[in-house]
Amino acid sequence: MPPTTIPTDGQKAEQPHVQAAGQHHPHHHPHRLFKVYVTGFGPFEKIPTNASSHVASHLPSVLDEKYISHAPAAVKAANLQVSIIPHFEPVPVSYDKVTKLIPTLYQDLPGVDLFVHIGVAPFEHYQIETRARRRPYGPPDDNPDGRRDVDGRWPDGHSAEGAAGGKVPDEVTEIVSSLDVKGICDVLAKVKQEHDEKGADESWYPPQASDDAGLYLCEFILYNSMAEAVYDATYESEYPESQPVSDPTSTPPSTSRAVFIHIPSKIEEEWLERSLETVKRIIGAIAVQRASRWID
């Protein structure tokens, strides 16, 4: 079961001192809390140590202000705070286990604003995925035995038919992100350029937008998460947004509540640090974009 300790706005994890009614700490400023839940994958194929689970488990519980410093003035005035909780273990690279896991996350954590799923790929850049396809999750034509999961299986029908409890209409073949992913990438590229011009020692890479998550477990978990957000999840948002967080009527259906980040599979210390820093930058940029819709 996932942890259910993400606080709502105004709550504190610890209350060592309770003030009398009507008293306020002179330095307390109300803030708007953006709640994030993060998963990473376990080992598979030739990846005995999965960098995605390392990154997920090493994220801070509260994102430092520098990661949202590019926010517009209205968001800064709202004192945005980004709270992060990682999944308690690496997610098995298993179609069946992913299908069963995702609904429990959304059911147990209705107040989470963003579910971030992280996975690895054999390249040296970072990608934010913009869509997830329903099928085919099966063997390539030229390799009938390729890309089975760690249980040695493919999903039934080589498809994500079980997503959202089977509530996705038959005609829906893909679900897309309603985040402005290109805008996020552009913002982070500008931030990185400014850091480089100032000679800042910042070891991270701006991400790229991608519309091909690979039709393996990375895309499968994203499809299941997006489908749950669009068709079967309760979302107890504290702040109304200027556009729907999830929209089953758009073509294709869309959501900004689930996202997938591809990171390099490299596990050398410098690469793990770079991946961790890059993911923090991406989460911060998404939080700023979503929070901007609270303000509009």
3-state secondary structure 248-276: CCCCCCEECCEEEEEEECCCCHHHHHHHH
Task: Return the pLDDT at 94.
Answer: 97
Condensed to tens digits (0 to 9), the pLDDT of residues 99-130 reads 999 999 999 999 999 999 999 999 999 999 99
Please write the tens of the pLDDT for every residue from 18-68. 333 334 344 445 678 999 999 999 999 899 999 999 999 999 999 999 999
Taking each helix axis as running N to C, give the angle between helix 269-295 and helix 181-197, from 0 to 180 degrees, rounded to the nearest 10.
120
Q: How many whole angstroms separate alpha carbon 130 and alpha carbon 211?
A: 5
Proportion of the chain in helix, strand, coil states, percent, rounded to 5:
35, 20, 50
Instruction: State the CB neighbour count (10 A cutoff) for residue 7.
Output: 13
Which tokens hold the place of 207? 């991400």
CA–CA dist 296, 206 (Å, integer)? 26
**Confidence at residue 187, expressed as pLDDT on a 0 to 100 scale:** 97
SS3 string, 85-130, reads EECCCCECCCHHHHHHHHHHHHHHCCCCCEEEEEEEECCCCCEEEC
Per-residue pLDDT at 2: 58
Residues 6 or more apart whose CB falls under 8 angstroms from that of 10 comprise 30
CA–CA gap between residue 10 and residue 73 (Å, rounded): 22
pLDDT at 55 (0 to 100): 98
What are the mean pLDDT values of the chain's consecutive 10-residue runs (296 residues total)?
Answer: 47 36 44 94 95 98 95 91 97 97 98 98 96 88 72 91 96 98 97 88 91 96 98 91 94 98 97 98 97 85
Dihedral in degrees, nearest 10, Cα atoms 160, 275, 82, 2:
50
Residue-range domains of the chain with CATH: 32-295 (3.40.630.20)
